[in-house]
A and B are shown apart, each in its own frame.
Chain A
Amino acid sequence: MSDTTLQTPLTVDDPRLTAFALGELDGARAAQIAAAVQNDPSLAAEVAAIQATAGDLTAALASTGQPRLGSDARAAIAAAAAPKRRLRLVPALSAGVLAAAGVAVAVLVQAPAMTDRKPARTTMIKPQAASHQDSNDQRVLGESGEVVVTYNIDIAGRMIDTGGMPASGPVVEYESEDRLQAAGQTEIGGASAFGAIGSGGRGDGRMRREYRSAAPAELRLAARDLNHEGYTALGGNAFRATAVDGGDASTFSIDVDTASYTNMRRMLLREQRMPPKEAVRIEEMLNYFRYAYAPPATASNNPFAVAAETTACPWNADHRLVRVGIQGAEIDRTERPASNLVFLIDTSGSMQSADKLQLLVQGFHHLVAGLDSRDRVAIVTYAGSAGLVLPSTSGDQHATINGALSRLRAGGSTNGGAGLSLAYATARQHFIDGGTNRVILATDGDFNVGTTSAGSLVDTVKAQAQGGIQMTVLGFGTGNLQDGRMEQLSNDGDGVYHYIDSERESQRVFGEGLTGTLVTIARDVKIQVFFNPAQVAGWRLVGYQNRRLAREDFNNDQKGAGEIGAGHQVTALYEIVPAGRAVPGHIATDPNPFVAGGAVETSAMTDPNGPMLRLRLRHKLPGADRSTLQEFDLADSGRDWLAASADTRWAAAVAGAGMRIRGEDAVAAWSWEAIRATAVDAVGSDPRGDRREFIQMIDTAMRLQPDAEPIGRHPLPGTEGADNELRPVTR
């Protein structure tokens, strides 16, 4: 190729001409083009013109205002560049601050040895594009040629002894991940770090997950596509037949989160848009509202009372509806146990907008107002580096605490892991035996996984919850909310997840609901329902999809579940297919010939005149290791929908709206008009206007996603009384 003549004549349309003009060609190739240009005045003119344009472009694009990273980000980079790799001082926690606060704590944190970390392993990469082309399945194939990547993540053996100090270092990194990136491969490791936290792969320490991911080469990120809110898809909510092995029991963990509801409210009322169906968790909608449930008898030791009602199902006349309601005991403000709180506040740049940091600070002001000298408050921020903004301070020092809150400023990047370690260390230092020890994480949800492994985050949160420090998660803002991850964190941390969409909501959570937010009255509350196959052909639990437990988990006291705070209410609905009716979607199975009666045929052993179901609850009192079992039988009253209590009608309307937004077939026959009419009829006194506000949300939803065609109106019911039909089981 030393020949300086070109094989084909050079034209003005040849990209090499531009490359030559811009000095992009190396010696031999440049010489070839130079020779051709010399012999052709039109080419020479072209080169001159390209160079002139290039000069103009360079001048035009030489901007005066160069974007710069914030000082926090630069500090974080400087810290990362520091020669000592393994041992690192938490940067923002200067010795001076510690000395001034009179706290003698060595915050020397050791990152775990890299050998603990096994790189994410690719077990199978299936190019699904080819095999799915015929099916025209956009969900699998995607617009940009998605592929399904399956891999295992080894999350075993990384938890380090927590003996009172932060367990995981602030900077825990997958080296393998960066190597992969440097090699220009798709980051399976990076995706795994995100995926691990949203998925519920617990127990055996290994997770096998499927993720859809777009092929990088195909990917063009348009600004309009960039809503960073993340939602984890919930499983389906199909009917189960009692005749099928294991289908006679339903086991789940209670849940008092309300985040999904307030997040939906933000989208429907403020942004006037339909929430994505993954954002709809029906149990959180149900549990947002207050119901007229009776409290536990004061003489009883029960931390909560339970009630249930059966009626016709409003969206399917052939089915029955069971509402289970739990009412936690109220605790007087003055009798509340002492609280040791650490606010872990995300002050990264994305928290800047008015619906985030400002609202967050207001919310904490509400909370602080309810604290007194029994309590302690510390504030830890994380943004690039983690910092102890306020050392643990007595709860009656409102001015000091509020002053520290008011001085918070957003800026810089996010390093959630470092902040988390510091927050737990601070909480551990000031641990109150018999009190509430809690880290309250406030964020728009963007834990920076670039410097923190999601797996170790979950391990830390779980281990700390077992060690008596719970985590409550407060979600803020729009556009960035990592909803699924936040919910997972609060679940792992034995805490609650709230989404704060307004000052009113922060008043609700921290003002009126403060004792409920701070005081746990029962832990690991599980519900198990045994259905009587002689009366029940099939059933489904409405909502609680990611709260389902295995049948054997019910009796396993090692298996954690949801907490109930003082005064909290929990509502669950079952849709029941009565015996003798077909269970939707059910496919008949064959009996096992080696088992007497076929093991699946149970009706011979049951009583057609017995109760419809047995409701079983387990809970632990705070501090107790062993659970307490309560059992109740529920007979179907045969009550008509017209006779249903207002609470059941309201719950059904809320669930119906949630299922409509989720696009569930089961409620397709229940029109928006009928749902709305049911809700309007069941509003009751509604002292805070919550229920009326929900009707506005229905109005928005039915406008955005109207019924395809008019659906027959449903008769309206009309009683107010909420009878408890449960009968305690005595042995």
Chain B
Amino acid sequence: MTTWIDIALDRYEAPLLRFATRLTGCPQRAADLVQDAFCALCRQPRAQVANHLAEWLYTTVRNRAIDHHRKDHRMTLVAPDTQAETAAANVDPAAPVEAAETNAALHQALAGLSDRQQDIVRLKFQDGLRYREIAQALGISEGTVARTMHEAMARLRAGRRLEEAV
């Protein structure tokens, strides 16, 4: 039997894993966070979350990531996380073969964006979120999303023009 949870899982599993990995820098941690979020979703009355499922899921993942991070910050941060490098490949979002040759310039331009710009671009074009959902997911205002997206698009296009001119 396919439940609404299954549908939500199919739709948001990969985007949330990517999102959580970007937040935490650690695919394993990300998988734990996403599992937690879906387990928490199961306890929500469907009517309460159905209209803003994406916002709810992204917010939950983000809050839990912050929670983990905050907990860690009460203690001492010492060195770069080595886990990120050694993590299993099956949940590593860096691994997908998205650097097709025709897109190389675009990826290069993307890498030149700020973290927040990249987040917004990915949430929009990779995960298909609306501005309103992105704003919720990142805990920022919709206006900020609009402004940041606009700047990001301008920079991406400028970067491509530069590439093409060379």
Contacts and interface: CB of A to CB of B under 8 A. Distances in A.
A16 B25 CA distance: 32
B28 A178 contact: no
A450 interface: yes
Contact of B75 (A56, A77, A484): A484
Contacts of A175: 43
A182 B149 contact: no
B23 A80 contact: no
Contacts of A50: 153, 157
Interface string A208-223: 0001111011011111
B31 to A, nearest CB: 6
A312 interface: no
A185 to B, nearest CB: 9
Contact of A173 (B43, B56, B62, B115): B43
A65 B93 CA distance: 8
A50 B121 CA distance: 13
A181 interface: yes
B164 interface: no
Nearest to B143: A15
B59 A224 contact: no
26 contacts: A22-B149, A56-B103, A60-B98, A60-B103, A60-B106, A60-B107, A61-B122, A63-B97, A69-B91, A76-B39, A80-B39, A175-B43, A181-B60, A182-B56, A194-B71, A219-B66, A221-B24, A223-B84, A227-B79, A233-B75, A350-B32, A353-B83, A448-B36, A450-B39, A478-B82, A479-B83
A556 B123 CA distance: 60
A18 B39 contact: no
Interface of A: 13-19, 22, 24, 49-50, 53-54, 56-70, 73-74, 76-77, 80-81, 85, 142, 173, 175, 178, 181-182, 184, 186-187, 190-191, 194, 211-214, 216-217, 219-233, 267, 271, 273, 276-279, 348-350, 352-353, 384, 412-414, 446, 448, 450-451, 478-480, 484
A202 to B, nearest CB: 20
A352 B26 CA distance: 13
Interface in B70-111: 70-84, 86-88, 90-93, 95-98, 100, 103, 106-107, 110
Contacts of A69: 13, 17, 31, 34-35, 91
A15 B38 contact: no
Contacts of B6: 81
B9 interface: yes
Nearest to A65: B96
Interface string B117-153: 0000110111000110000100110010011011001
Main secondary structure, interface of B, reads: helix
The 9 closest A-B pairs by CB, nearest first: A223-B25, A63-B96, A276-B76, A60-B103, A450-B36, A15-B150, A65-B96, A61-B126, A66-B14
A436 B150 CA distance: 67
Nearest to A231: B75
A271 B121 contact: no
Contacts of A17: 150
B163 to A, nearest CB: 12
Contact of A230 (B71, B80, B146): B71
B5 interface: yes
Contacts of A278: 75-76
A100 B157 CA distance: 65
Contact of A226 (B31, B81, B100): B81
A233 B75 CA distance: 7
B162 interface: no
B107 A349 contact: no
B71 to A, nearest CB: 5
B59 A348 contact: no
Interface of B: 3, 5-6, 9, 13-14, 17-18, 21, 23-29, 31-32, 34-36, 38-40, 42-44, 48-49, 56, 59-60, 62-84, 86-88, 90-93, 95-98, 100, 103, 106-107, 110, 115-116, 121-122, 124-126, 130-131, 136, 139-140, 143, 146-147, 149-150, 153, 156-157, 160
Given A178-B43, A213-B73, A276-B75, 7 more contacts: A22-B124, A60-B98, A62-B98, A217-B139, A223-B81, A229-B78, A479-B83
Among A64, A220, A412, max chain B CB count under 10 A is at: A220
A273 B42 contact: no
Contact of A66 (B49, B63, B82, B96): B96
B79 A273 contact: yes
A709 B150 CA distance: 55
Given A194-B71, A214-B73, A350 B29 contact: yes
A479 B81 CA distance: 6
A18 B67 contact: no
Nearest to B4: A81
Contacts of B98: 60-64
B88 A68 contact: no
B84 A190 contact: no
A223 B43 CA distance: 31
A212 B78 CA distance: 18
B116 to A, nearest CB: 8
Nearest to B132: A24
Contacts of A173: 43
Contact of B139 (A54, A216, A223): A216
B60 A73 contact: no
B27 to A, nearest CB: 8
Contacts of B9: 74, 77
A219 B62 CA distance: 10
A443 B117 CA distance: 37
Contacts of B79: 227, 271, 273
B97 A64 contact: yes
Contact of B100 (A60, A74, A80, A478): A60
B29 A228 contact: yes
A18 B95 contact: no
Given A178-B43, A181-B59, A273 B78 contact: yes
Contacts of A85: 43
Contacts of B116: 220
A143 to B, nearest CB: 10
Given A191-B70, A450-B40, A232 B90 contact: no
B99 to A, nearest CB: 8
B80 A65 contact: no
B40 A178 contact: yes
B152 to A, nearest CB: 9
Given A413-B32, A450-B39, A450-B40, A67 B81 contact: no
A49 B103 CA distance: 16
A211 to B, nearest CB: 6
Contacts of B160: 53
Contacts of A74: 9
A230 B66 CA distance: 15
A412 B88 CA distance: 11
Contact of A68 (B17, B43, B48, B156): B17
Nearest to A177: B40
Contacts of A277: 76
A15 B146 contact: yes
A273 B78 CA distance: 9
A88 B124 CA distance: 39
B70 to A, nearest CB: 5
B23 A81 contact: no
Contacts of B71: 191, 194, 230
Contact of A221 (B38, B69, B100, B131): B69
Contacts of B18: 67
A89 to B, nearest CB: 16
Contact of A57 (B28, B42, B44, B121): B121
Nearest to A149: B70
Contacts of A186: 63
Contacts of A60: 98, 100, 103, 106-107, 110
A78 to B, nearest CB: 8
Contacts of B150: 13-15, 17-19
B115 to A, nearest CB: 6
